[in-house]
Structure 1
Amino acid sequence: MLYPASYIVEPQPGHSHSHTIILLHGRSSTAEVYASDLFALKTTDLAKNLPSHFPNFRWVFPDAGERWCIAYKEERSAWCHTYSLQDMSLRQDLQVQGLRNGVYRIEDIVHEEVERLGGQSQRVFLAGFSMGSAVALWSIFTGAAFTSGKLGAFLGLSAWMPFTREAMVALEQRIPTATHAAHLKSLSVTFLDILGIDSFTSCETIQKSILEMLAYLGHGTDDIPVSVSYCRDLTGILRSLKVQLETREYIGAEREGHWVKEPEQLDDVVTFLRTLMNDTSWGGLG
């Protein structure tokens, strides 16, 4: 699939490029609209927006482009098909092509951004909102996100993950002596088999990269379009894989709860990112 160009926001004038954050938009949005909506939000601290807090960041917003959505009988901006938000397991076969194309797209973008940072892959963070999180997570578990090295962090906003039930089955091996590495390999192989593609990198690389990556999940308890239960399932999966995870729940966000809660959630995102930047082992500025 030929994707539209990403929407890019360069570091603030007078500031050198130190980190890149790649943020994938949700369904029915676009890269530029998502960037505009996200940057309109303010934190408690001096009512700053995200670029004001991180003037050295390069912000990369990939664009999903439009595809025919069977459930709605129309073209929509979407990374993949979703037949039903109430039950994501319905017609999951419709999601496969979009996920397959999406993980290759993320691999390319991550590679470009790592090169811009002189190979310092830990200074690249991957994030997504709703369906954008779905593609980001599959890029992580298939290894597509790690072909240029480990990433510093993953941030999931109102996140859900396709084929969650299959992921849980892959992690519930009934072999008493099964190791953590074996569970992760089972999950990666399951996702690669669903996509019908070969592994992007070794299972050892995926495991090491995931263990050395920090993660944040934030979701509204009153999210009507995408239930918080999806995020709770995802939390269980990530914790079983020993991911260093911070999870937060919020109430009262706009858009029927399916959005970033201002200012509380933005405050938490800023705190999470500052923790990364202040820790030299995670590519921080020292």
Structure 2
Amino acid sequence: MDFPPLHIHPPQTTHTHTAILLHGRGSNGPEFAEELFSSLISKNKNLPDCLPSWRWVFPTARDRWAVAFEEDICAWFDAYSLTNIQERQELQVEGLRESVAHILGILEAEIALMSGDASRVYPGGISQGMATALWTVFCASGTRRIQRRLGGILGFCGWLPFADDLEGLIRAHQAQSESRIQIQHLVSRFFVQTIGLKPNPEEEASGDPTASSVPPILTTPVLLGHDTDDAFVSVELGQQALRVLKEVMDLGHIEWVGYSGADNEGHWIKEPEAFDRILAFLAGSSSEE
């Protein structure tokens, strides 16, 4: 079964940048776009009005069986529990493999539209969409399908699947006094091997622990945010994702925005403060006001 068509909000002027934004579980691309663009920044404008040269791409996940709920749900993968993220985490593998492969293809296509300039493309998402976007970036590193720095990565109210395993892996290799670069490559390999994603046959296999350079995609700037009162995905899970990223990405380019009082019982982006941060993060690279 194919993934549903992309929902695309075209640029209002000459196309200069693209954002690829993933919805949360139970939503879809058009719904997420409508909710996102109905939210305003302090200038009483929405993101497309402030960034008229941007193309906004909203993929939609497949419907898949949710074991815990015993029904089909539009989701990037099956997450059995968000109170104990290690419980039945093997259920996530199939969906992550399918969804990461799909989003990787979209990411590559959007980079091609920018004449190969990956620094003009920004993946991200909310909740389960954030989880999938982060996995896509690390799998892009692990497969070496994208060997350039992206413009930025956005994530709100989300988490990182297999984060406990990743923190254990990082601690173990730090205890062996392995270098940060070696750990970066080993972590990238973990993502690819965990979901059984095959490297592009035309690319060199990833994860060489003797590598001497940082994978360029891991120098991409990151903006993560979370409501401290999120009733659906705890802020502690967002902070755990932040910890992992700080260990394997460029520390100078990771931002965290905490807030409270967002809509949907805290499971949303605070308006207008957090949207102001998103605009500043995006406009900082595009020089648009």
TM-score by structure 1 length? 0.91
- Specify the SS of the correspondent of 2:189: helix
Post-superposition CA distance 1:137-179 (Å, at most 9, x none): 1111122696243311100111201000011112111544311
Match of residue 207 from structure 1: 214
Post-superposition CA distance 1:6-25 (Å, at most 9, x none): 1000001xx10000000000
Match of residue 190 from structure 2: 190
Q: 1:242 to 1:118 in 2, by over 3 A?
A: closer
Could you tell me how far apart the structure 2 residues matched to 1:117 and 1:259 are? 30
**Counterpart among 19, 22, 26 of residue 21 in structure 1:** 19
Match of residue 135 from structure 1: 132
Give the letter for the 1:75 counterpart.
Answer: D
- Specify the SS of the correspondent of 2:268: coil
Give the letter for the 1:166 counterpart.
Answer: D
Give the letter for the 2:3 counterpart.
Answer: Y
Match of residue 145 from structure 2: 147
State whether residues 214 and 245 of structure 1, in contact with CA within 8 Å, keep that contact through their aligned partners in structure 2: yes
Post-superposition CA distance 1:52-109 (Å, at most 9, x none): 0100000000110211111111111100001112222211011000000111111110
Give the letter for the 1:100 counterpart.
Answer: R
Matched, 1:6 2:9: no
State whether residues 23 and 129 of structure 2, in contact with CA within 8 Å, keep that contact through their aligned partners in structure 1: yes
Match of residue 36 from structure 1: 34
- Specify the SS of the correspondent of 2:57: strand
Could you tell me how far apart the structure 2 residues matched to 1:143 and 1:39 are? 28
**Counterpart among 86, 92, 96 of residue 93 in structure 2:** 96
State whether residues 171 and 183 of structure 1, in contact with CA within 8 Å, keep that contact through their aligned partners in structure 2: yes
- Specify the SS of the correspondent of 2:257: strand
Match of residue 277 from structure 1: 286
Give the letter for the 1:157 counterpart.
Answer: F
RMSD: 1.9
Match of residue 260 from structure 2: 251
Matched, 1:224 2:228: no
- The CA deviation at 1:225 is 0.4
Match of residue 162 from structure 2: 163
Could you tell me how far apart the structure 2 residues matched to 1:205 and 1:30 are? 41
Match of residue 282 from structure 1: none
Give the letter for the 2:128 counterpart.
Answer: M
Could you tell me how far apart the structure 2 residues matched to 1:171 and 1:133 are? 21
Could you tell me how far apart the structure 2 residues matched to 1:214 and 1:116 are? 21
Could you tell me how far apart the structure 1 residues matched to 2:197 and 2:282 are? 33
State whether residues 171 and 184 of structure 1, in contact with CA within 8 Å, keep that contact through their aligned partners in structure 2: no
- Specify the SS of the correspondent of 2:254: strand
State whether residues 185 and 215 of structure 2, in contact with CA within 8 Å, keep that contact through their aligned partners in structure 1: no
TM-score by structure 2 length? 0.90
Matched, 1:113 2:90: no
Match of residue 246 from structure 2: 239
State whether residues 141 and 206 of structure 1, in contact with CA within 8 Å, keep that contact through their aligned partners in structure 2: no
Aligned residue-pair number: 276
Could you tell me how far apart the structure 2 residues matched to 1:36 and 1:183 are? 40
Match of residue 77 from structure 2: 80
Give the letter for the 1:231 counterpart.
Answer: G
Match of residue 50 from structure 1: 47
State whether residues 8 and 59 of structure 1, in contact with CA within 8 Å, keep that contact through their aligned partners in structure 2: yes
State whether residues 146 and 209 of structure 1, in contact with CA within 8 Å, keep that contact through their aligned partners in structure 2: no
Could you tell me how far apart the structure 2 residues matched to 1:62 and 1:230 are? 24
Give the gaps of 5 or more residues in structure 2: none
State whether residues 219 and 249 of structure 2, in contact with CA within 8 Å, keep that contact through their aligned partners in structure 1: no
Could you tell me how far apart the structure 2 residues matched to 1:84 and 1:6 are? 28
- The CA deviation at 1:248 is 0.7
